Amino acid sequence: MDIKKFLHNKMAVIGGIITIIMVLSAIFAPMLTSYGPLDMVISDRLKAPSAAHIFGTDTFGRDLFSRVLYGARVSIGVGFSVSILTMILGMTVGLYASYYKWLDNLLMRVCEGLKAIPATLLAIALMAMLGASTKNVIISLVIVSIPDIARISRSSALLTKEQTYIEAMYALGAKPNRIIWKNIMPNVISPVIVQTTYIFASAIIVEAALSFLGVGVPAPEPSWGNILSEGKTVIYNSWWMIVFPGIYMALTVLGLNMFGDGVRDLMDPTSH
Amino acid sequence: MSEYIFEGRDIKQYFPVKDFLGRKKSEVKAVDGVSIAIREGETYGLVGETGCGKSTLGRTLLKLLEPTQGSIWYKGKELTDMKVNEMRAYRKELQMIFQDPYTSLNPRKKVGKILEEVLEIHGQQKGRKETVMQILEKVGLRKEFYDRYPNEMSGGQRQRVGIARALLLNPSVIVCDEPVSALDVSIQSQIINLLLDLQQERKIAYLFIAHDMSVVKYISNRIGVMYLGNLVEEASTDELFGMPMHPYTQALLSAVPSTNPHIRKQRIVLEGDVPSPLSPPEGCVFHTRCPYAMPICKNQKPEWKRINEGHCVACHLYKAEEKVEDN
Amino acid sequence: MGEKILEVDKLSTTFRTDNGKMKAIDGMEFCVNKGEILGIVGESGCGKSVTSQSIMRLYDEKYTASYEGRVLLDGEDILSIPLKEMKNIRGNRIAMIFQDALSSLNPVYTVGNQIMEPIMIHQKVDKKQARNKAIEMLRLVGIPSPEKRVDQYPHELSGGMRQRVMIAIALSCEPELLIADEPTTALDVTIQAQIMELIIKLKDRLNMGVILITHDLSVVAETCDRVIVMYLGQTVEEAGVDDIFDNPMHPYTNGLLNSIPQLEGKRSERLYMIPGMVPLLSQIPSGCRFAKRCPHATDKCFAQMPELNEIEPGHKVRCFFPEGKR
């Protein structure tokens, strides 16, 4: 892991810094704003950005800045959980599929079936089945994202499996689990980590889409999606309802993608 | 009970070629009925050109590939149908050194960890580091190599690690699959000397697979020559080089360039290329390129005949002194 | 043997890498005559491939490689001409064949197309004429049924045949100089013999100069007229092939010859090993580069770099104390 090389990549560093700022602002939300995300002051509703409310207020008079920051907790938190869980489960699926032929057929057909359905639609369908809650959003998004990671893990694992040193481990009497986890997995994890950063970003977007459509995180708990959803009816007069959460989300996703590109370039020995 | 410590009897390794629906279309007969027997502490050199099946035979004997037919014997015990778990214990005694030093070591692990893992697999709890250090010294690597990654080492050094890995469990038989082919000439001599020293010290039997005749001559006690999945001749080293009988062996030996520029050899140049193992010739597999082919060679596969003590050949040109008996 | 076709005059190649500048070859000087095979031997990293690729100016000259010295092709210094003009020379006047024919041939084009390509680039002929020439070339290199083979793809041919196709491509424009970079290393011994005979036959027919790069001393003994031994970017010995084997003077050459198991003669106790290891290019020692591993090194050897001197007619050595065979 060549940190110096990473630091040369300006885009990646900027992406990383943006992401860190966003994450920190979410974590330290209570210290950055005195308003609570759920505190309604009806008389102050739909006020434009001012010194008192830097992002303005929403339809119920809640401070938008506070809601965006607390919403970040939910959105980023969902993105993070989805990416970590997907990485672990997807890699497990891919590794075992690459090692055992019979498992390969079974698991890959299931994954292909899932991939055939557009992600957001699939997520909506799952949410409809499971019911709206943050936990279920995470579960749906994990199910939607596993096939990609499984496929990447599987193809890296298949390549690694053909290497002579794996054959050598077998010749030494190593058991399959040892070969899979201690010898194949370290070679598979690089492309997986790269893809995981992208999944983080896309989970944020899909979660926002779900909440926007009303099948994601339920109100009054803020998430970027449902803030945008509230704003869609008042967009002509209260532009701040869309612009600020939108910018915040776009920046976070952009930052994650740039960071992900940087990680990918780091892992790829052929790029200059 | 035989005098041989490691045997393969009538080993066949056929690889099915499937069509796109998964049905078997034809077979690649990589190894087509080869019997080999090695004595304790001796080196059996297995030579042949690309595609003759020698590497496949080596892997099959260690059950890295399951034989299509035939049996494998170690110290009198049959390994052929053993279950994976039972076989695991025997893997300690039957080891392999691989050809390519650049892919036979895990690039993400340090040498020390690679070697310690071997001990870990077979249950050694304590003292792994000491054992590994001892082995490193034995193969001529300084202690600091314990903390190196494979890509920080040269080909020759990596091959020494491969040898160390094979030695850790104290095997009685090591299959060496072209262990020096990928190395520079001056390193080859170091590795060959190392293998010879270890053999003398520990009485290890080697199945030495190679295509370089000079190296094989140097290290082997007995040599077997393979062509297109078949063993065509077997003899002691001196006998084989002094009196090669099979036309293929003769051509092979004549094709090897020598380092004496004054010797302009009378070369037997074989016509054409090696036939594909998907459709080996009928009868004797060599008859299509053999300068002495007779009508019988096209139809009948020659038997394995013993010509004199220790020298056997599969060729219609020769009459057997006595037929080789099945054990 | 005829006149000089190639003269390399104090050629050095320096690479810019992440770890600084590295001089991969230093002051290479040699000639190749028409109709002659010059062998360049040495182990991995000695710079033999760098030499041949520098002659062809194959390295990226903008960022990576810089050259010193001259390379005279039939009297003209091709190192000083604009890089664009090298296009007319490569494949036309100087041709190259590589070690691994499978990866050097384009898998998606037929072998015929690949032979026709240099012909159509360098010569003013139409497609039909080029195709006929391609078939003729296949016949020349000994491929049976060339009219059928010309439309086949590389993967349909065996290793030996692919190597012959590479030779056909290289010779299609009848070059003055052929550089063969380890052409037989990946081939079986019986095929190797066929390919080397083919190269010799074609060299005679076209009166080409040939540079044969290899680490296999026995191939050199069988086919070359003169030999250069390289170590760590320099020539350490140069002589006619008989001289090199009968009377090697540089300790490295001696060491190499002694460490090869001999096919003839008795099996000796243990093979000779050259002690130590080849140093990294980034840690080139001062003084004689082989001194650290040389059994006869003196203080002078560590302090000064010996020049390449002609000790006997036609036999040059870079050593303060050259010796005969042990």
Judged by a CB distance cut-off of 8 A, whether residue B93 touches chain A is no
Residues of B within 8 A of C215 (CB-CB) are 184-185
C-beta atoms of A175 and B121 within 8 A: yes
Sign of torsion over alpha carbons B236, B238, B240, B245? negative
Measure B265 CA to nearest chain C CA, in Å: 9
What's the confidence (pLDDT) of residue B326? 47
Contact check, Cβ <8 Å, B100/A164 = yes
User: Does C84 contact B at CB distance below 8 Å?
Assistant: no
CA end-to-end distance (rounded Å), chain A: 15
- Residue A151 near residue A111 (C-beta atoms within 8 A): yes
pLDDT-based confidence at B264, cuts 50/70/90?
low
CB contact under 8 A, B103 and A187: no
DSSP assignment, residue A63?
B
Q: How many helices (H) and strands (E) does chain A have?
A: 12, 0
Question: Is the residue at B196 inside a domain?
Answer: no
pLDDT at B321 exceeding the cut of 70 = no
Q: How far is CA A83 from CA A115, A138, C5, in A?
A: 17, 9, 65
So what's the pLDDT on residue B244?
92
Q: In A162-239, which residue ranges form alpha helices assigned H by DSSP?
A: 164-171, 176-178, 185-212, 224-231
pLDDT of residue B259: 73
Best of C263, C273, C274, C281 to disrupt the B interface (most B CBs within 10 Å) is C263
Cross-strand pairs, B27: B16
Residue A117 scores a pLDDT above 80: yes
Residues of A in contact with B173 (CB under 8 A): none
Q: What is the pLDDT of residues C261-289, one digit of tens each?
A: 776 655 556 777 777 777 777 778 888 88
3-class DSSP assignment, residue C177: strand
Residues of chain B contacting residue C221, judged by C-beta atoms under 8 Å apart: 257-261
Partners of residue B91 in chain A, C-beta under 8 Å: 171-173
> Has residue B189 been placed in a domain?
no
User: For A186, which of B96, B99, B108 is closest by C-beta distance?
Assistant: B108
Cβ of C155 under 8 Å from any chain B Cβ?
Answer: no
- Is-cis flag, bond preceding A220, omega within 30? yes
Q: Per-residue pLDDT tens for B28-72?
A: 889 999 999 999 999 999 999 878 889 999 999 999 999 999 999
pLDDT, greater one: B206 or A262: B206
Q: A touches which chains (3+ CB pairs under 8 A)?
A: B
The pLDDT score that the predictor gives to residue A219 is: 77
Tell me if B93 sits within 8 A of A145, measured CB to CB: no
CB contacts, 8 Å: A165 with chain B: 103-106
Four-residue CA torsion sign, B152, B154, B157, B159: positive
Residue B303 falls within a domain, yes or no? yes
Distance from the Cα of B21 to chain C's closest Cα (Å) equals 23
Q: Which residues of B touch A176 (CB under 8 A)?
A: none
Q: Which of A164, A172, A186 lies nearest to residue B121, judging by beta carbons?
A: A172
Interface of B with A in 169-188 (CB under 8 A): 169
**Residue C62 to chain B, least CA–CA distance (Å):** 29
Residue C272: list chain B partners with CB under 8 A: 189
Q: Which amino acid is at C138?
A: L
Beta bridge partners of B9: B71
**Would residue B243 count as lying in a domain?**
yes
Residue B136 inside a domain? The answer is no
Chain C contacts of B49, Cβ < 8 Å? 188-191
Q: Tell if the CB–CB gap between B261 and C222 is shorter than 8 Å.
A: yes
Residues of B in contact with A174 (CB under 8 A): 117, 121
Over residues A64-103, the pLDDT tens digits come to: 888 888 888 888 889 999 999 999 999 999 999 999 888 8
Give the distance, in angstroms, between the CA of residue C83 and the centroid of all CA atoms in the same chain: 22
**How far from chain centre, in Å, is Cα C127?**
33
Nearest to B193 among C160, C256, C273 (CB): C273
* Cβ pair A165:B103 closer than 8 A: yes
The nearest CA of chain B is from the CA of C161 a distance in Å of 8
Helices (H) and strands (E) in chain C, counts: 12, 12
Token readout for B47 is: 């030579």
Interface contact flag, A172 B106, Cβ < 8 Å: no
> Please, which chains are in contact with C (at least 3 CB pairs closer than 8 A)?
B
H or E segment at C285? none
Neighbouring subunits of B (3+ Cβ pairs under 8 A) = A, C
Q: Is C321 or B44 the better-scoring residue by pLDDT?
A: B44
- In the structure, what pLDDT confidence band is assigned to residue C326 with cuts at 50, 70 and 90? very low
Inter-chain residue contact B108 with A168, CB threshold 8 Å: no
Domain count, chain B: 1
Quickly tell me which residue has 């062996």 as its tokens.
B249
Give the pLDDT band (50/70/90) at residue B273.
Answer: confident
Q: CB of B267 within 8 Å of any CB in chain A?
A: no
Q: How far is B82 from chain A (nearest CA, A)?
A: 14
Q: Which among A168, A173, A174 has CB closest to B104?
A: A168
Instruction: Evaluate whether ipTM surpasses 0.90.
Output: no
Mutation site for A-interface testing, chosen from B106, B115, B120, B121 by largest number of A Cβ within 10 Å:
B106
pLDDT 10s digits, C216-229: 888 888 899 999 99
| C267 reaches B (C-beta below 8 A) | yes
User: B53 vs A45, which has greater pLDDT?
Assistant: B53
Inter-chain residue contact A164 with B103, CB threshold 8 Å: yes
Task: Say yes or no for a CB contact (<8 Å) between B215 and C261.
Answer: yes
Strand partners of residue B69: B12
Residues C9-30 have a mean pLDDT of 88
**For residue B291, what are the domain limits?**
4-93+173-181+203-323
Q: Tell me the C-alpha distance between C199 and A100, whole Å.
A: 49
- State the smallest CA–CA distance between residue B186 and chain A in angstroms: 25
Amino acid C2: pLDDT: 62
B167 against A54, higher pLDDT: B167
CA-nearest residue of chain C to B258? C218
What band does B176 get if pLDDT is binned at 50, 70 and 90? very high
| CATH number of the domain within which B75 lies | 3.40.50.300
Note whether residue B14 is domain-resident. Answer: yes
Q: What is the pLDDT of residue C263?
A: 66
* A233 and chain B in contact, CB less than 8 A: no
What is the full DSSP assignment across B195-252? Answer: HHHHHHHH--EEEEEES-HHHHHHH-SEEEEEETTEEEEEEEHHHHHHS--SHHHHHH
Lowest mean pLDDT among A218-222, B132-136, B244-248: A218-222
The residue of chain A nearest to residue B162, with distances taken between CA atoms, is A168
Domains within chain A, CATH numbers bracketed: 3-267 (1.10.3720.10)
Question: Would the CB atoms of B258 and C242 count as touching at under 8 Å?
Answer: no
Cβ-based contacts of A170 with chain B (< 8 Å)? 64
Contact in structure between A228 and A59 (CB atoms under 8 Å): no
Instruction: List pLDDT tens digits, range B184-210.
Output: 777 888 889 899 999 999 999 999 999
Question: How far does B215 lie from chain C, in Å, by closest CA?
Answer: 6
Q: What is the pLDDT of residue B93?
A: 92
Q: Which residues of B touch C246 (CB under 8 A)?
A: 261
Average pLDDT over residues A164-173: 86
Instruction: List the single residue in C161, C188, C242 with the smallest CB-CB distance to B211.
Output: C188
- Average pLDDT of the residues in A241-253: 90
